[in-house]
Structures are given as C-alpha cells and as structure tokens.
C-alpha cells in the first residue's frame, strides 16, 4: 500500500487505528512522540537529509552517549559537548572514533559465524 492509497480512507478511521497503535505499540508511541517534537523535527530535517549526514550525526550521537556512560560523575550537557568537541578536534582521537563507529555496521567472525557488532566500543579520552 502506498501513501496515496491512504488518501482513499476515511481520516477518522485512520485516526482511530493510529490511536490504538499508539496505545498498544511502544515503538510507534516513542516514534510519534519524538517526531512530533518541534526541536527534534528541526534537528532531524537539518541533519538527516542525506545518508552521509545521517551517518555523521549518528556517530556524534553515539559519541555523546558514550561520553555520558563513561564518566563516573554526572556531566551536564555543556561538559558533554565540550568533551565531544575535544575528542573530535584531536586528529588521532577523531580517526579512532570514526574507525570504531564504522565497526558498528561491520560483521566480525566468531567461531565461524557472522555476528553484527551491537554496541559502540568504549572510547578513551587522550590527554
């Protein structure tokens, strides 16, 4: 079914079905909540316009998340982006980050089986 096919349906029926999905499917609920948030929409439209930009911003998001998880003390958003910026501006760290991020979509062989790498490897901050 294509998007144009939905134009033939009664919008009230689509609305009812969508509400049911929203209430029963956590993934759809989260997707709808995130995609309807104005700040996220603007961010998404700006950074997810091409596949290359999508990969780049996903790398930044994963790095931000990794920084968040790696520090013993809780960091505020300003501290996190300052650390992220320091890591990215250092050419050796940047290359390591890019290499590790690329591993996310690669497969590694373990006991003769192909296995997708699920998490971003821990990164260390070089002083």
pLDDT per residue as tens digits for the range 36-78: 999 999 999 999 999 889 989 999 999 999 999 888 889 999 9
Q: Which residue has the higher pLDDT, 89 or 116?
A: 89
Residue pair 107/117 in contact (Cβ under 8 Å)? The answer is yes
Confidence of residue 101 (pLDDT cuts 50, 70, 90): confident
Position 29 pLDDT exceeds 60: yes
Residue pair 15/32 in contact (Cβ under 8 Å)? The answer is no
Report pTM: 0.69
């Amino acid at each position: 079914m294509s998007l144009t096919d939905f134009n033939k349906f009664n919008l009230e029926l689509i609305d009812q079905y969508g509400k049911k999905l929203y209430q029963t499917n956590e993934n759809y609920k989260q997707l709808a909540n995130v995609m309807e948030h104005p700040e996220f929409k603007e961010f998404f439209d700006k950074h997810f316009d091409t596949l290359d930009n999508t990969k780049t911003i996903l790398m930044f998001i994963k790095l931000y998340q990794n920084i968040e998880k790696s520090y013993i003390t809780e960091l505020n958003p300003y501290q996190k982006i300052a650390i992220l910026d320091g890591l990215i501006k250092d050419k050796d760290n940047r290359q390591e980050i890019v290499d590790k991020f690329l591993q996310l979509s690669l497969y590694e062989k373990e006991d003769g089986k192909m296995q997708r790498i699920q998490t971003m490897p821990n990164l260390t901050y070089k002083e």
